[in-house]
Amino acid sequence: MADVERLTALIEPEAAALGFDLVRVKMIPSEAGDGGQALQIMAEDPATGQLVIEQCAALSRRVSDAIDTAEEQGETLIPGAYHLEVSSPGIDRPLTRAKDFADWAGHEAKISLVEKVDGNRNLRGNLVGIEGDIVTIADNRAGEVSFALEQIHSAKLVLTDELIAATQPLDTAGAEDILEDQEEKADD
């Protein structure tokens, strides 16, 4: 089993060196269906809240080099085969850091807790915010529910018209070049 804390400690300075904030580091089953695993890294440029393709590629190269260096020094960070996925968190982004719960207060979220709080484990409603390490959500059924940040199993924003309106548009610069490349290859 990969040590996600150690991987995060290795990856965070690489993201910071490029001026990015690390949103999440997670090991997930590979989508290839081969029984392998993927190291999923989500990061954002604080200026835009997203990463464009070139930024993802730059972070991927830095992380690959850092993992290779650590493994050359005898560390086994990820046992077995894996592939690296670097992406922007997207509009219906995961909420993983205390600042996410403050930044996205007022927007609809889905939160799954490790254990029930006030009889609820799965919550959905407007995110009230965070005070200290206590998150509050106005659940659609239970009303206001508060719990410690560490009690969260997973949390993400729900795609709504309000969220779309509040989110900066994605930068599509360079998309035409990618499409042209693909069209040229298809014509060959």
User: Which tens digits make up the pLDDT trace of 79-119?
Assistant: 888 899 999 998 889 999 999 999 999 999 999 999 999 89
| 7-11, long-range: CB < 8 A, 24+ apart | 7/39, 7/67, 7/77, 7/78, 10/63, 10/66, 10/67, 10/70, 10/77, 11/41, 11/63, 11/66
Identical fold for domains 4-87 and 98-166, yes or no, is: no
Fold (CATH) for 98-166: SH3 type barrels. (2.30.30)
pLDDT tens, position by position, 34-45: 668 999 999 999
Mean of the per-residue pLDDT values for the chain?
A: 88
**pTM to 2 decimals?**
0.78
Domain regions of the chain by residue span: 4-87, 98-166
Fold (CATH) for 4-87: GMP Synthetase; Chain A, domain 3 (3.30.300)
The backbone torsions φ and ψ at residue 72, rounded to the nearest 5 degrees and listed phi first, read: -65, -25
